[in-house]
Amino acid sequence: MTTYELDELQLYLKKTETIHNAKEYLKSLKIDEKFTKLYLSTYLFVKIPDFFVDLNDEFKLLVDQIHKNENLFENLPKYENMFNEWKQNNAASLVDEIQYMKKQTRSSSSETENENCKFCYNTQQNILSIAETFFMGKNE
């Protein structure tokens, strides 16, 4: 997945309309709307699976079932528990990986004189910084 596609996915998941539609869908199934963002998070696991290589088979199966809207009433609470456990266990390693990626991006940026490339590397740095901040907060 390219950076552009990742940006598009993130924008889609943050759109008011996307969130509203997901809330309404869950409400129609008599599922608490507190699960909305969690429900939408499955898109990340499905669309960029290479980023989440550390998932166990049970977690992957649950993500797939939720993404396919299978038995959401029972699966979303299970997913919430597994997601929170995964998030806590993997936040530290993700922060380390993001910091390494930031270092590589800085190095690549310093090796080029092309302003367009520098702009792209700067954009990557900003995205990585946001991800780093997010996962550092999850690690605490």
- Give the domain ranges of the chain: 3-139
Residue 80 has a pLDDT of: 95
Contact between 96 and 139 under an 8 Å Cβ cutoff? The reply is: no
Structure confidence by residue, pLDDT tens digits, 111-120:
989 988 889 8
- Structure-block tokens of residue 107: 């190095």
Quick: pLDDT tens for 5-21: 778 888 898 999 999 99
| CA–CA dist 35, 80 (Å, integer) | 8
Distance CA 38, CA 12 (A): 15
Does the predicted TM-score (pTM) go above 0.95?
no
Residue ranges of the chain with pLDDT lower than 50?
Answer: none
Summary count for the chain: helices (H), strands (E): 6, 0
CA-nearest of 90, 103, 12 to 51 is 90
